[in-house]
Amino acid sequence: MEDVLEVFRGIFKYFFGASKRELISLYPWMSIWEQKCASIVVLLDLLLLILLVMIFKNWIARNRKVLNTAAYGITAFSFVYVGLILGAQPTTANLVILHNGIKEGAFMLGLFVMEPYIFILFNFMILTMFVWGRGVFCGWLCPYGAMLELLNRLIVNKFPKLRVALPEKVHWKLIYLKYVILAVILVVGLFNFILAEYLAEVEPFKTFVLKLQRQWYFVAYFLLITAASLVVYRAYCRYICPLGAALGLPSFLKIFPLVKPERHSLCGTCKICGRTCSYQAIKADGRIDSRECLDCLECQVNYWDEHRCPAVIKNKRKAETQEAKA
């Protein structure tokens, strides 16, 4: 708690008159933030853009061209700028540090603010996972996830025979694998952080950020998991990623996410959204599983489609009939 207060004292002094030299000597992290100020502003602009997409997604989903432009543009920028240029890829190792700090009552906020990009992204992740679910980060911002999304859009969509959809029964069992992986890493981290960090290599993120400049077995694993995520659509994100599992935990409670996707009373009868959901996040009764939804907004496009959604077509015809009678 004292560490948290110390950070806020530093912020207060920064805005209310302390000299720069004094601040940097007292709070070394301020020098890092100042040096990275321009790139921090660009990152914050990206986060603001993603928030605007989420806030106005019902309007955006009514126009597929607008949605595709936003999706391509944001994921490409997340992949190139956030991932390759900034190297800002949150990992489960960050969660282990946070978990251990809370357990020991010595959460060191000062340690986190030394990495401004990761600090900003983690705060964004925490906010959005409660409001919209894991999909905001996993579907729009995660650099590795963005790379997989672009590869799927640019390569696999042109060669659909490459893709394999797992049977529903297999899919709904496999989704729990990532939660088991997360639990193992966090439990081991309580006793041996080095081992937990090694186990966190199940994430290909470090190899991704280092641009494959690692030992051959890390590179081989990266290529294998990436290839598997092209054959089975984003298999890593859906079945293995412990960070995605952590972001999905609040959605086990019915209250979260606070903002839920729009659904019609007829949803679940026509199966259109379920058949077109590449993540297989829509259950047989039409309910969207927020633990698995990565907010591609494809179902929301269907929701507003006057030529495809049976509920919209029915309401439109009803309105036309009433107008004709009037």
Give residue limits of the domains in the chain: 36-252
| Burial group, residue 258, by CB count within 10 angstroms (0-12, 13-18, 19+) | exposed
Per-residue DSSP letters for 248-281?
HGGGGSTT-SSS-----TTTTTS-HHHHH-TT--
pLDDT at 1: 47
pLDDT at 18 over 60: no
pLDDT at 17: 56
Average pLDDT over residues 5-14: 55
Average pLDDT over residues 2-11: 54
pLDDT of residue 170 exceeding 90, the answer is: yes
**pLDDT band with cut points at 50, 70 and 90 for residue 208:** very high
DSSP letter for 160, please. G
Quote the pLDDT of residue 2.
46
Averaged pLDDT of the chain: 87
Q: Average pLDDT, stretch 246-252? A: 95
178 pLDDT band (50/70/90 cuts)? Answer: very high
The answer on pLDDT for 46 being more than 80 is yes
Sorting pLDDT into bands at 50, 70 and 90, what band is 248? very high
Q: Among 19-33, 107-121, 158-172, whose mean pLDDT is lowest?
A: 19-33
Q: Does residue 168 contact residue 160 with C-beta atoms inside 8 Å?
A: no
The helix/strand count (H/E) of the chain reads as 21, 0
Residue 207, pLDDT > 90, answer yes
- Reported in sequence order, the residue ranges of 126-228 that DSSP labels E, i.e. its strands, are none
Range with the lowest mean pLDDT among 63-72, 217-226, 315-324? 315-324
Amino acid (1-letter code) at residue 45: D
Confidence of residue 97 (pLDDT cuts 50, 70, 90): confident
The DSSP symbol for 165 reads P
**C-alpha to C-alpha distance for 135 and 290, rounded to whole angstroms:** 8
